[in-house]
Amino acid sequence: MLSASAIEAIGSPPERLGVYIKSELTKWAKVVKDAGVRVD
């Protein structure tokens, strides 16, 4: 099913996922702040 979407599952240690999530949060928080996005 994943191959039909050109997605390949790979394994990695949990620490690597944590690093990735933190970097994504930092990146997207800046995008949201720079765009002036607000939740009402």
Label residue 7 by pLDDT band (50, 70, 90). confident
Angle 8-13-16 (CA atoms, 0-180°, nearest 5)? 85
The amino acid present at 16, given as its one-letter code, is: R
pLDDT attached to residue 28:
96
The amino acid present at 26, given as its one-letter code, is: T
Q: Which sequence spans correspond to the domains of the chain? A: 13-40
- For the question of whether the overall pTM of this predicted structure is more than 0.75, the answer is no
Label residue 10 by pLDDT band (50, 70, 90). confident
Handedness of CA 14, 12, 1, 23 (dihedral sign): positive
Question: Is pLDDT at 1 greater than 70 in this prediction?
Answer: no
More confident residue, 10 or 20: 20
More confident residue, 8 or 14: 14
